[in-house]
Amino acid sequence: MSPLANAKREAFARAIVEGKSGREAYRSAGYKPKNDATADACASRLLAEPAVAARVTVLKEAAADDSVMSAREVLEELSKLGRSSIKNCIVNGDDAGEVIASLSDMPDEVAATIQEMTVETYTEGRGDNARGVKRVRLKLHSKTSALDLLGKHYKLFTEKHEHDLSDPLKQLLADISGTAFRPSDGDGK
């Protein structure tokens, strides 16, 4: 469904989808009600109009579609985790002795690989020998799990199942075939 022809109604529908109340959406769309009661009543009437209600539904569905990852996006995220390395989170250091890059300076694909970050600051020593210490611990998401999921997706692993036929089953197969059951030696004989 294309945008509503009336710009105020389109703005109202979009404001509703953004999570604004009817009153807030009505005002933000450019309408000028006399008071809150009027805004509420007019917003209610607009939401009851089939074209506006349909537009709100379409916009909500589009927003939901955008919030769900596609299969390709899932594989891309798993690939980021599979390629992750702690050295991507470390910088050479500066005068302050920083060895961990700031999260805000990290590329998203690197920051996404961090599962947990703990920062401890404390003073070590006493008096003139005291010095501030900052300890940073990083825990990355599991590479093994990500690679395992990717491997399964691309069917890189084949599982071999061995079956041990019990004596009653061997007898049943022999009765059905009329011969004694012998496992195949693999050459088809």
On whether residue 32 sits in a domain, the answer given is yes
Task: Identify whether residues 15 and 58 lie together within a single domain.
Answer: yes
Burial of 125 (0-12, 13-18, 19+ CB in 10 A): exposed
DSSP H/E element including 121: strand 114-124
Task: Identify whether residues 18 and 91 lie together within a single domain.
Answer: no
Tell which wins on pLDDT, 184 or 38. Answer: 38
DSSP H/E element including 12: helix 7-17
- Neighbouring CB atoms inside 10 A of 186's CB total 6
Express each pLDDT in 139-151 by its tens digit.
Answer: 999 999 999 998 8
Task: Identify whether residues 76 and 148 lie together within a single domain.
Answer: yes
Domain membership of residue 122 as a residue range: 86-140
Task: Count how many domains the chain has.
Answer: 3
Express each pLDDT in 63-107 by its tens digit.
Answer: 887 777 778 888 898 999 999 888 887 776 555 556 666 777 888
Q: Looking at residue 187, what DSSP letter applies?
A: S
16: pLDDT confidence band, cut at 50, 70 and 90?
A: very high
**How confident is the model at residue 93, as a pLDDT?**
57
On whether residue 159 sits in a domain, the answer given is yes
165: pLDDT confidence band, cut at 50, 70 and 90?
A: low
Which among 20, 35, 67 is the end of a domain?
67
- As given in the structure block, the two tokens for residue 107 are 């590329």
Task: Identify whether residues 35 and 78 lie together within a single domain.
Answer: no
What mean pLDDT is predicted for residues 127-145?
Answer: 88
Q: pTM higher than 0.75 for the full model?
A: no
- State the Cα–Cα distance between residues 57 and 13, nearest whole angstrom: 9
- State the Cα–Cα distance between residues 37 and 23, nearest whole angstrom: 9
